[in-house]
Amino acid sequence: MLSKSQISFIKSLHQKKYRKEHGLFIVEGIKSIQEFFRSSYHIHTIFYNSEQYNLLPKLPANINLFEVNNAELDKISTLQTPQGFLALVHIPKNKILNSDDLKKQFTLVLDGVQDPGNMGTIIRTADWFGFNNIICSKDCVEVFNPKTVQATMGSLARVNIYEEDLPLLLSNNTLPVFGALLDGESIYHTQWGNEGLIVLGNEGKGISPEVIKKINKPVTIPRVGEAESLNVAVSAAIFCAELVRVRN
């Protein structure tokens, strides 16, 4: 059985403050846990429902296993319907961005994306289309937020996430900077070349004025209907699909 202190500790990791303090985040569901197990991430503990124990892969001895019942899983899970497995995973050290790693490819740059579901969907979409890196502004939602992690469906284990001061990064950048703006050139007529940064903005405010100044190639997804705007995760998917199409 889980002690009250163990339950309290795990529940504290639902909050960013304690994830940062303890260097751990939560992953739920056996499929997502398996993705992290096969990656460079390090799993600290897996809590499992005994009824689903046979779904666990063979694990190294340094991963702690802890059997819990449904009531305990309900208490520590971030989900309304727990999926039988919950893992505590070590938060890796901040990755250092090497500008050479951005050459000869396209990279998504997120400016102030706040919704955890949007962030997770963008990471999952990037993984689907083969984008290796995502750069986030410092005011983006934390990628280790449980809702973000859940929305990535394990893709967080494969996509490199960098947190950067965007105006500074773009000032020192030599790659084309494409920005998703309403008054830009249609993405279907744009000459993309073979590399660049694709800037997508906040759900409500769009790209910040400081970052807009650094954009040298404004582009837009043409509007046919009457909707005022597109969801940022949907926009990311359209950009990724078009970039893959023109490069292939």
What would the pLDDT profile of 23-80 be if each residue is shown by its tens digit?
A: 999 999 999 999 999 999 999 999 999 888 888 878 877 889 999 999 999 999 999 9
In terms of pTM, does the model score above 0.75?
A: yes
Q: What angle do CA 106, 150, 130 make, to 5 degrees?
A: 20
Residues 26 and 86 sit within 8 Å (Cβ to Cβ): yes
* 10-40 core/surface letters (b: 16 or more CB in 10 A; e: else): beebbeeeebeeeebbbbbbbebbbbbbeee
pLDDT attached to residue 59 = 80
Cα separation, 196 vs 104, in Å, equals 8
- The token duo for 80 is 């309304």
Instruction: Concatenate the DSSP letters of all residues of 148-201 into one string.
Output: HHHHHTTGGGTSEEEEE-HHHHHHT--S-EEEEEEEEEETTT---TT-EEEEE-
- The token duo for 53 is 């124990």
pLDDT tens-digit map of 166-192: 999 999 999 999 999 999 999 999 999
pLDDT attached to residue 150 = 97
The H-or-E segment that residue 21 falls in is helix 16-22
- For the cut 90, the answer to whether the pLDDT of residue 248 exceeds it is no
- For residue 156, the Cα-to-chain-centroid distance in whole angstroms is 6
